[in-house]
Amino acid sequence: MRGSSWNRRTVQRLRQALISTVGSMKIKLLLCCCIGFTLIALASRASDFMGWTNHTAALERFSDSRKGYSIVMNTWKRYDLLKQSISHYSRCPRLDSIHIVWSEPSPPSDSLRKFLYHIVQLNTRDGRQVELKFDINTEDSLNNRFKEIKDLRTDAIFSIDDDVIFPCPSVEFAFDVWQSASDTMVGFVPRMHWVDPTKGDKNHYIYGGWWSVWWTGTYSMVLSKAAFFHKKYLSLYTNEMPASIREFITKNRNCEDIAMSFLVANATGAPPIWVKGKIFEIGSTGISSLGGHSEKRTHCIDRFVAEFGRMPLVPTAVKAVDSRNIWFW
């Protein structure tokens, strides 16, 4: 009796253990199935999360107008510098066109035109077709560099002075950065503004030059002497920005770059993006070399704040760095 009783208890225990094991295996199998279905669902939806649902958009990420950029170059009676700059930038891979802002009393000479056209043609023998145009202006005004250009084939404008050179890889990297934030300004030359503590209110400001940026690591503008921005801002600058600001700039021959920074910041509510790049200044003179330059710029900021009715500039400490080319960043 005892043996049979012990056998029955053993069988019952084995049966319970088996039932428990089977139940545990069912639960694990169910969990595995759930996980498997979840992974399959995520895999099928991954393209949605990554923005790849539209395969056509993936293959053609940007429209033709986004694949390249146009240079708008400001110049004034510095033909040797102009030749150097055009010779350099016409080699940049994604350059689509060059527009020379010409505000001199006399039109460009035939010899200058011929030389520049030849240089551009010489530097684009790899199948690219870079267009070179002179945008002739009858009035000598710094506003001319931001006049609307009707036949631009690209959304991106690289505004550059004729006396500064950036290596093409730096320009191409800045263009990549601009494509990720095409409503803002992306440039190489940062500047800052500060509330003037001596005025007793928050409606007066001080213009901060490069050393202010270097000391604090903060900036609120990138100057248009070397910056990317969307072509739509040319229309806003020319047609919608208060005419009194353009008149002030023409009269004082200064601060058109600050006005553009105000315009873009006012439209976006966002800061610009400073791209680290090595600058080669091939010129020796300019407006910034004149006495009282910072004081004039401070006056411009206060004037523009009054015109806009507020301070639109947004300070930031963000800097875009191409980490592929440097060890420490």
Please give the positions annotated as active site: 257
Closest residue by Cα to residue 228 from 279, 180, 300: 180
Backbone angles phi, psi at 170, to 5 degrees: -70, -40
| Token duo for residue 80 | 């040797």
**In which element (H, E) is residue 163 found?**
none
Contact 84, 165 (CB under 8 A): yes
Q: What is the Cβ-side half-sphere exposure of residue 103, based on CA atoms within 13 angstroms?
A: 15
| Token duo for residue 328 | 């420490």
User: Rounded CA gap, 155 and 231, in Å?
Assistant: 5
User: Rounded CA gap, 237 and 299, in Å?
Assistant: 20
Closest residue by Cα to residue 70 from 100, 95, 90: 95
